[in-house]
């Protein structure tokens, strides 16, 4: 992926289990992906697909919840899962930063916005308060807060939703991270503000050469932002490919369902949307075999028994899909659907 050969982030066979009273929730069930420097990976899935847990686990943020994490998460070759909490602390907010969905609950309401960013700077850099404040003002300007020298002393409630998200991004960028994880960064925002924030993230990624993981339920967002897309369903990646390939030549029935169930702005209006029948499964006892088979209209009886691996699609090794239908069959069905 990158010229240096070694990817920035490499996740291998990640499993995250949460023991609960009702049983073990298999939130993430063996996912693997790679991310190069300056690239953006979009992880798409519905609520409960494990996409957020997968992202939080990279920062070790699921440890506190008693999660059992297995597999390997390599940041430039270092396994983050083997690090102690103290060692991780040095990486969080420094080499890896995160943007959360809800900017109003992610900022402390009683501290000035500037002070919270100063804290992030000084947590990882040995600089004076004055220097950190200077840097903070510079960061707020970078993310497009007007009059940053004055707004730095505002409290979060004095910021609009979009400005709070910008402040969160400024905080995430404080130490020029190599990797930025954004969990539904624009879901809480209005569409015009969303467009500004996405453009900002894209610009900063290119300027700073960060790798970026965007976790979202919104296919529009990943279509706009991502170089590669991974579709998650019931804790697994069911399809992954370059963004354009995945949107134009999807191979998995779930991806077809997602693409066909959303109304679009382009193209002719359809009379009826084609919804995916049923609802997402429980992760305590996920369906046997292919996790998607109970909702899949193309499922055969044996799909309830056989577990499909994530296999490369013929002719495109970077496009992988976990589906038991024959390749020719899938191609024929998709041609018929579109």
Partner 1 sequence: MSSAGPLVEVRDLVKHFPITRGIVWKRKTGAVKAVDGVSFEVMKGETLGIVGETGCGKSTTARLMMRLLEATAGTVHFDGEDITHSKGAELKAVRREMQMVFQDPYSSLNPRRTVGAIVGEPFAIHGLHRDRAERKTAVRELLDTVGLNPEHYNRYPHEFSGGQRQRIGVARALALGPKLLIADEPVSALDVSIQAQVLNLLRERQREMGLTLVLISHDLSVVRHMCDRVAVMLKGKIVELQDNETLYSSPGHPYTKELLAAVPGARRSDRRTIPG
152: contact with partner 1 by CB under 8 A: no
Cα pseudo-dihedral 88, 92, 96, 100, rounded to 10: 130
Work out which of 157, 203, 305, 338 binds partner 1, going by CB under 8 A.
338
Going by their DSSP bridges, the two strands 23-35 and 78-79 should be labelled as: unpaired
Specify whether the CB–CB gap between 242 and 318 falls below 8 A. Answer: yes
Q: How far is the CB of 271 from partner 1 (least distance, A)?
A: 9
The length of the chain in residues reads 338
62: contact with partner 1 by CB under 8 A: no
Residue 92 DSSP symbol = B
Alpha helices in 145-284 (DSSP H): 148-151, 161-173, 191-208, 219-225, 243-248, 253-261
Instruction: Calculate the CA 294 to chain-centre distance.
Output: 26
219: contact with partner 1 by CB under 8 A: yes
Work out which of 110, 192, 328, 336 binds partner 1, going by CB under 8 A.
192
Q: How far is the CB of 199 from partner 1 (least distance, A)?
A: 9
Q: How far is the CB of 82 from partner 1 (least distance, A)?
A: 35
**What's the N-to-C CA distance of the chain in angstroms?**
31
Work out which of 195, 284, 297, 304 binds partner 1, going by CB under 8 A.
195
Exposed/middle/buried for 278, CB within 10 Å: 0-12, 13-18, 19+? Answer: exposed
Piece in contact with partner 1 (CB under 8 A), picked from 58-66, 67-75, 84-92, 211-219: 211-219
Distance CA(252)–CA(246), nearest Å, equals: 9
Q: In what order do the strands lie in the sheet with 40-44?
A: 96-99, 179-183, 211-216, 40-44, 228-233, 236-242, 316-321, 311-313
Q: How far is the CB of 159 from partner 1 (least distance, A)?
A: 15
Task: Decide whether 225 or 310 has the Cβ nearer to partner 1.
Answer: 225
Task: Decide whether 182 or 258 has the Cβ nearer to partner 1.
Answer: 258
Give residues 76-135 in contact with partner 1 (rule: CB under 8 A).
Answer: none
Give residues 269-298 in contact with partner 1 (rule: CB under 8 A).
Answer: 269-270, 272-277, 279-280
- Give the residues lining the site for partner 1 (CB under 8 A): 46-47, 161, 190-192, 194-195, 198, 217-221, 223-225, 243-244, 247-248, 257-267, 269-270, 272-277, 279-280, 338
């Amino acid at each position: 992926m990158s010229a240096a050969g070694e990817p920035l982030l490499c996740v291998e066979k990640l499993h995250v289990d949460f023991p609960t009273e009702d049983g073990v929730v298999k939130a993430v069930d063996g996912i693997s992906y790679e991310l190069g420097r300056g690239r953006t990976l979009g992880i798409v899935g519905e609520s409960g697909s494990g996409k957020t847990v997968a992202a939080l686990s990279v920062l070790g943020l699921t440890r506190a919840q008693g999660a059992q994490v297995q597999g390997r998460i390599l940041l430039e070759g270092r396994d983050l899962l083997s690090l102690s909490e103290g060692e991780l602390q040095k990486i969080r907010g420094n080499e890896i930063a995160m943007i959360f969905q809800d900017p109003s609950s992610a900022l402390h309401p009683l501290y000035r916005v500037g002070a919270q960013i100063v804290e992030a700077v000084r947590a990882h850099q040995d600089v004076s308060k004055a220097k950190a404040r200077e840097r903070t003002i510079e960061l707020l300007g970078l993310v497009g807060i007007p009059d940053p020298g004055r707004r730095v002393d505002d409290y979060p409630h004095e910021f609009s939703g979009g400005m709070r998200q910008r402040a969160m991004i400024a905080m995430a960028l404080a130490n020029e991270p190599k990797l930025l994880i954004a969990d539904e960064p624009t879901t809480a925002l209005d569409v015009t503000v969303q467009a500004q924030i996405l453009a900002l993230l894209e610009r900063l990624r290119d300027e700073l050469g960060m790798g970026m993981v965007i976790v979202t339920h919104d296919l529009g967002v990943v279509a706009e932002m991502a170089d590669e897309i991974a579709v998650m369903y019931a804790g697994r990646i069911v399809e992954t490919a370059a963004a354009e390939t995945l949107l134009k030549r999807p191979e998995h029935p779930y991806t077809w369902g997602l693409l066909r169930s959303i109304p679009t702005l382009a193209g002719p209006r359809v009379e009826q949307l084609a919804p995916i029948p049923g609802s997402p499964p429980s992760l305590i006892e996920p369906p046997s075999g292919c996790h998607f088979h109970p909702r899949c209209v193309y499922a055969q009886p044996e799909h309830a028994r056989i577990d499909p691996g994530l296999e490369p699609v013929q002719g495109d090794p970077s496009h992988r899909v976990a589906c038991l239908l024959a390749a020719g069959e899938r191609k024929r069905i998709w041609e018929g659907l579109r």
